[in-house]
Structure 1
Amino acid sequence: MKKLTLSALFAASLFLSAGTIATAQTKSATAVNNARANKAASYQVDAAKSQLTWNGKKVTGEHTGTINVANGQLLVNGNKVTGGTVDIDMTSIKNTDLTDLEYNGKLIGHLKSDDFFSVEKNPKATFKITGLTPIKGAKAGQANYTVKGNLTIKGITNAISFPATVAVNNGTATAKGVATLDRTKWDIRYGSKSFFANIGDKAINDDFTLDFNIVAKQNDLARL
């Protein structure tokens, strides 16, 4: 009788232990899955497919050109972009409207000088996303987020915001839009009526625009 009782107690303890272990394993697996779900995946910016186009206006006309994206990443949680950083190669700035090579070269040289972007001292600009707010009622093809972030040019950082069309599909994240920037906030004062009132038709608008199309792809390892 004692042997039967001891055997029964032993069997019961094994059963309870197995149940406890199984419960612990289930909780552990759930915790891991939740952690994975809450962790944003890093999508690498595809510099070759990403584009930046700038436009600056003055009293007597305007100029347009491009700047290369150097690198960066977008943080994605589920099907939403939640953050990220984009580095811009300021040494790559080009003009696309002047066909005369001499004038084109002079303009680019001036833009790279200390009158404007001080490229030799500051070869990189950086934009860091600090928040994305959905735009209510946005229709297909329209900007669906207000993007906020910090833009560093010439070592000077300012907070900016702009509307953008942001999407995540099949391992690719994209962000498209136009940001309007006041260059004087980054100490680019050349030709600004805000600082030089009597320059007449030599004035250059304080605001310039950056038309951007950022493409980022999920790391293959992150899909496993």
Structure 2
Amino acid sequence: MKILTLLFTFAFTAFTMIPEVATVNTSESSITWTAKKVTGQHHGKVPITTATLDYQNGKILGGSFEMDMTSLTVEDITDPGMNKKLTDHLKSDDFFSVANHGKSTFTITNAKTSNGKDYQLTGDLTIKNITKPVTFPATVAVNGGIITATGKLTFDRTDYDIKFRSGSYFENLADKMIYDDVELDVKIIASE
């Protein structure tokens, strides 16, 4: 009887320590990118193909998402020809090389919070098969069993071998320079 009780206690303890994986709604979740240059900026979307959210006792413990770089869009240019030109350029080897690197990923390695709402997330961002750690603030709200996690992840594109018109690598670009930082506004919608 003692062995049975001990096994039950161990099994129950082990079970309660396993993070609950919340169901992520990828069609409701979104990533909006923003890139800036001397003369302005552009923005668009990158679809989330898969995502997980490890959520237990009202706190995020981990998670990941995968971005479909082949479906990257430009949202601020209304002229179809100009839109296609920029979209194709972003998918080219000058930028994300999507023919060879169709997916980019982010995986949480550490989630710090004091209140279960405001987080400092650290994780591995992989673009073009290059992985670098990034840290960014995020906010989590829960309403009626729906978890909404939002954050602004900023990365230096040159860390991922994206150097086109970077002032860090090329001189005399003047108003042709594109800034190195790229912002990703991430919104993950999941259900408990």
How would you bin the TM-score normalised by the shorter chain? over 0.9
- Which position in structure 2 is the counterpart of 1:4? none
Would you say 1:99 and 2:73 are equivalent positions? no
Compute the TM-score of the two structures, normalised by the length of structure 1: 0.80
Compute the TM-score of the two structures, normalised by the length of structure 2: 0.93
Q: Matched residues in 2 for 1:113 and 1:82: separation?
A: 36
Q: Matched residues in 2 for 1:173 and 1:151: separation?
A: 22
Task: Give 1:175 deviation, angstroms.
Answer: 1.7
- Which position in structure 1 is the counterpart of 2:93? 114
Q: Which has the larger radius of gyration?
A: 1
Q: Matched residues in 2 for 1:194 and 1:179: separation?
A: 21
Task: Give 1:169 deviation, angstroms.
Answer: 5.8
Task: Give 1:161 deviation, angstroms.
Answer: 0.5
Q: Matched residues in 1 for 2:146 and 2:4: separation?
A: 34
- Secondary structure of 2:71's counterpart equals strand
- Which position in structure 1 is the counterpart of 2:131? 157
Relative distance call for 1:167 and 1:35 in structure 2 (3 A) is farther
Q: Higher mean Cα deviation, 178-187 or 71-80? A: 71-80
Q: Write the deviation string for residues 176-219 of structure 1: whole angstroms up to 9, x where unpaired.
A: 0111111110010001010002111100011110001012335x
Q: Matched residues in 2 for 1:118 and 1:51: separation?
A: 22
Would you say 1:193 and 2:167 are equivalent positions? yes
* 5+ long unaligned stretches in structure 1: 1-20, 219-224
Q: Which has the higher helix share?
A: 1
Any conservation in 2 of the 1:37–1:77 contact (CA below 8 Å)?
no
Aligned mate of 1:214, from 180, 188, 191: 188
Would you say 1:82 and 2:56 are equivalent positions? no
Q: Write the deviation string for residues 123-181 of structure 1: whole angstroms up to 9, x where unpaired.
A: 000101100111x5x7x9xx611000000001110000000013556654432011111
- Which position in structure 2 is the counterpart of 1:48? 27
* CA RMSD, 1 decimal: 1.8
1:144-183 to 2 correspondences below 5 Å: 144-167=118-141, 171-183=145-157
Q: Write the deviation string for residues 103-122 of structure 1: whole angstroms up to 9, x where unpaired.
A: 00000000000000001110
Q: Higher mean Cα deviation, 23-32 or 198-207? A: 23-32
- Which position in structure 2 is the counterpart of 1:26? 5
Q: Matched residues in 1 for 2:20 and 2:177: separation?
A: 46
Task: Give 1:49 deviation, angstroms.
Answer: 0.8
Q: Matched residues in 1 for 2:109 and 2:181: separation?
A: 22
- Secondary structure of 1:95's counterpart equals coil
- Secondary structure of 1:91's counterpart equals helix
Any conservation in 2 of the 1:81–1:173 contact (CA below 8 Å)?
no
Relative distance call for 1:170 and 1:79 in structure 2 (3 A) is farther
* 5+ long unaligned stretches in structure 2: none
- Secondary structure of 1:102's counterpart equals helix
